[in-house]
């Protein structure tokens, strides 16, 4: 068995190590987890006194900085008043206020909000809502789902089904429902051999043919709008999303936009769908929903979908819920996060991040270690030249350690290194993250 790589910073106690099973971690190979004591702004502080720049917003959740006092206070005040109440047969002010706040920032067509616990449950709800919609309107034959290659929608069974085939899901094949998969607009590795200069989104031909033949069987298409995150920070042309919307409307198929990662400003607008000027039928939200403070999900849908559930027939009820649905503390965090969008120059910060990413990306283009660079909003990804591209690239752990040793938390997706910072990151801090990536290129052997 390979030795574990010891971290230089803040290792946890023996007792902690033995009992806690960490996510996406191979305990036999991966370094010991780093003990974090506190966090503020864009920084995490380790127990042994180091300071790490959180350049990935702690798995893409943090928006306005760690331990933001406005959100922290809102949660504390809510905890003293009402920490939780069953959400079937009862409601509460924080849920009502958060729903109203979301309605203000969401497209007007997305009128109904169903709360859940995290990104995966927001996706499960969306899939079930889409399937039951067709059931409710008397077309139960429309029950197949379509997803994109390279997709990631979470780790619960439905979400895994619509995620791409990969080593992540291989042991759970029996749990995964069959899904039709169509190419993603991964322009650097164009699935139909086109070049961006001459591309007319030919990669959508497969979806069009699938719809022509099978639209009567298809309930919904699910996409990560404009940015496929875990699949490698793949940025799609806006036209790709627009045409998917158009095809779904033409063929009577629901469009589910999984904005779990892209929502709340991540892609430069409140929602990625806005950049393409489209409105999906169903949208999934999580991660930034609470500013990154508490787990919470929401699935929002149009009135057309909702009205098919509204009936004197109990059989049409949406039989789905979780113990902590619409937890008041999560709602309070969500309300506070939305208020920060109004009280602080959040979109100016986002624009600054976008500008720095673009400047730095321009400087990296043509570097022999760089295969491709992709930017959208607050996200910049560098696909490094590798003879073993993909999530299990050997580069991944070398780079991860290299960045940590320099005080920056970056968590490459195999040979794809990306920056996805909290919006409060300063220009200087952001340049620091870019600098360590630049420095790391010396470790990459161009192929
Ligand atoms: C697009 C997308 N959907 C869903 C999920 C699952 O969210 P969670 O990890 O909160 O279950 C993720 C997580 O990274 C995601 O990126």
CA of residue 229 to ligand 1 center, whole Å: 9
pLDDT of 169 over the 50 cut: yes
The residue whose CA has the least distance to atom 16 of ligand 1 is 261
* 3 pLDDT tier (thresholds 50, 70, 90): very low
Whether 429 contacts 53, CB under 8 Å: yes
Q: What are the residues whose beta carbons fall under 8 Å from the beta carbon of 84, sequence distance 6 or more?
A: 324, 327, 328, 329
141-151 pLDDT, tens digit each: 999 999 999 99
CA of residue 33 to ligand 1 center, whole Å: 21
Chain centroid to Cα 104, Å, comes to 22
Whole-number pLDDT of residue 7 = 56
233-246 pLDDT, tens digit each: 999 999 999 999 99
- Least confident residue range of 11-15, 226-230, 298-302, 410-414: 11-15
Angstrom distances, CA of residue 45 to CA of 37, 41, 124, 404: 6, 11, 35, 12
Q: From CA 289, how far away is CA 291, in angstroms rounded?
A: 6
Whole-number pLDDT of residue 197 = 86
CA of residue 412 to ligand 1 center, whole Å: 17
Helix (H, G, I), strand (E, B) or coil at 64: coil
Measured in degrees and rounded to the nearest 5, phi and psi for residue 282 equal -140, 140
Residues with CB under 6 A from ligand 1: 118-120, 123, 152-154, 224, 229-230, 258, 260-261, 286
Whole-number pLDDT of residue 148 = 98
Atom of ligand 1 nearest to the CA of 224: 1
The secondary element (H helix, E strand) that includes residue 37 is strand 36-40
Residues forming beta bridges with residue 416, ordered by sequence position:
383, 413
Q: Which residue has the tokens 């996805």?
A: 420
Burial of 143 (0-12, 13-18, 19+ CB in 10 A): middle
What predicted TM-score, i.e. pTM, was given to this entire model?
Answer: 0.96
Closest of 228, 258, 218, 216 to residue 124, by C-alpha: 258
Whole-number pLDDT of residue 196 = 86
Residue 135 token pair: 């059931």
The residue whose CA has the least distance to atom 7 of ligand 1 is 119
Whether 318 contacts 114, CB under 8 Å: yes
Burial of 261 (0-12, 13-18, 19+ CB in 10 A): buried
Beta strands at 416-419 and 218-223: parallel, antiparallel or unpaired: unpaired
Please tell me the total number of residues recorded for the chain in this structure: 447
Whole-number pLDDT of residue 319 = 96
Average of per-residue pLDDT across 304-326: 97
Cα Dmax for the chain: 67
372-411 pLDDT, tens digit each: 999 999 999 999 999 999 999 999 999 999 999 999 999 9
95-123 pLDDT, tens digit each: 999 999 999 999 999 999 999 999 999 99
Tell me how crowded residue 202 is: count the other CB atoms within 10 A of its CB. Answer: 15
pLDDT of 11 over the 90 cut: no
CA of residue 170 to ligand 1 center, whole Å: 18
Atom of ligand 1 nearest to the CA of 120: 11
- Least confident residue range of 185-199, 266-280, 322-336: 185-199
Measured in degrees and rounded to the nearest 5, phi and psi for residue 166 equal -165, 175
Whole-number pLDDT of residue 2 = 41
CA of residue 164 to ligand 1 center, whole Å: 13
Half-sphere exposure of 333 (CA within 13 A, CB side): 28
187: DSSP letter: G
CA of residue 427 to ligand 1 center, whole Å: 28
Whole-number pLDDT of residue 213 = 98
Residue 147 token pair: 């997803």
Pick left, alpha or beta for residue 102 (phi over 0 → left; psi -120 to 50 → alpha; otherwise beta).
alpha
Residue among 59, 120, 227, 411 to mutate when testing ligand 1 (max atoms within 8 A of CB) = 120
In the β-sheet with 416-419, what is the strand arrangement from edge to edge?
370-376, 379-384, 416-419
Residues forming beta bridges with residue 418, ordered by sequence position:
381
Residue among 287, 297, 330, 379 to mutate when testing ligand 1 (max atoms within 8 A of CB) = 287
Whether 421 contacts 388, CB under 8 Å: no
* 16 pLDDT tier (thresholds 50, 70, 90): low
The rounded mean pLDDT for the chain is 95
Whole-number pLDDT of residue 81 = 98
CA of residue 118 to ligand 1 center, whole Å: 8
Beta strands at 234-235 and 227-228: parallel, antiparallel or unpaired: antiparallel
Atom of ligand 1 nearest to the CA of 60: 14
Whether 295 contacts 256, CB under 8 Å: no
CA of residue 49 to ligand 1 center, whole Å: 31
Q: From CA 56, how far away is CA 61, in angstroms rounded?
A: 8
Angle of the 328-343 helix axis to the 93-105 helix axis, nearest 10: 40
Angstrom distances, CA of residue 21 to CA of 17, 33, 45, 154, 322: 8, 11, 22, 18, 23
- The DSSP secondary structure of 275-312, one letter per residue, reads HTT---SEEEE-GGGGTTSS--EEEEEEHHHHHTT-SS
* 447 pLDDT tier (thresholds 50, 70, 90): confident
Residues forming beta bridges with residue 40, ordered by sequence position:
43
Atom of ligand 1 nearest to the CA of 228: 1
Closest of 375, 354, 368, 63 to residue 233, by C-alpha: 375
CA of residue 158 to ligand 1 center, whole Å: 12
Residue 71 token pair: 């959100």
Q: Which residue has the tokens 């192929």?
A: 447
Q: From CA 281, how far away is CA 126, in angstroms rounded?
A: 10
Atom of ligand 1 nearest to the CA of 287: 10
Average of per-residue pLDDT across 37-46: 98
């Amino acid at each position: 068995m390979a030795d574990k790589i010891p971290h230089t910073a803040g290792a946890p106690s023996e007792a902690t190590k033995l009992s806690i099973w960490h996510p996406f971690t191979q305990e036999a190979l991966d370094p010991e987890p780093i003990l974090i004591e506190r966090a503020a702004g864009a920084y995490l502080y380790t127990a042994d006194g180091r300071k790490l720049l959180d350049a990935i917003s702690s798995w893409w959740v943090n928006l306005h900085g760690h331990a933001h006092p406005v959100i922290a206070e809102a949660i504390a005040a809510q905890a003293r008043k009402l920490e939780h109440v069953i959400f079937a047969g009862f409601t509460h002010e924080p849920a009502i206020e958060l729903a109203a706040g979301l309605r203000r920032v969401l497209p007007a067509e997305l009128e109904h909000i169903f709360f859940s616990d995290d990104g995966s449950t927001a996706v499960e709800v969306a899939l079930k809502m889409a399937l039951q919609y067709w059931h409710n309107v008397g077309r139960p034959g429309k029950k197949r789902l379509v997803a994109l290659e390279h997709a990631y929608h979470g780790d619960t069974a439905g979400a895994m089904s619509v995620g791409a085939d990969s080593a992540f899901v291989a042991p759970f094949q029996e749990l995964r429902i069959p899904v039709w998969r169509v190419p993603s607009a991964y322009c650097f590795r164009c699935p139909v051999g086109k070049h961006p200069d001459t591309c007319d989104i030919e990669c959508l031909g497969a979806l069009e043919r699938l719809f022509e033949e099978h639209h009567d069987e298809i309930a919904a298409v699910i996409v990560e709008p404009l940015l496929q995150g875990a699949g490698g920070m793949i940025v799609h042309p806006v036209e790709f999303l627009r045409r998917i919307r158009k095809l779904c409307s033409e063929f009577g198929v629901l469009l589910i936009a999984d904005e779990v990662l892209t929502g709340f400003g991540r892609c430069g607008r409140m929602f990625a769908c806005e950049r393409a000027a489209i409105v999906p039928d169903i949208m999934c939200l999580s991660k930034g929903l609470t500013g990154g403070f508490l787990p919470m999900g929401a699935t929002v849908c149009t009135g057309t979908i909702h009205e098919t559930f509204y009936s004197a027939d109990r059989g049409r009820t949406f039989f789905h819920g979780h113990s902590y649905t619409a937890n008041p503390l999560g709602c309070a965090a969500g309300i506070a996060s939305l208020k920060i969008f109004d009280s602080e120059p959040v979109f100016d910060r986002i624009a600054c991040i976008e500008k720095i990413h673009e400047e730095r990306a321009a400087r990296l283009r043509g570097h022999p270690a760089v295969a491709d660079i992709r930017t959208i909003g607050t996200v910049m990804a560098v696909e490094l030249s590798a003879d073993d591209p993909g999530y299990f690239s050997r580069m991944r752990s070398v780079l991860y350690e290299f960045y940590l040793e320099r005080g920056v938390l970056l968590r490459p997706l195999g040979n794809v290194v990306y920056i996805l910072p909290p919006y409060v990151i300063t220009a200087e801090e952001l340049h620091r993250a870019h600098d360590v990536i630049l420095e790391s290129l010396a470790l990459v052997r161009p192929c």
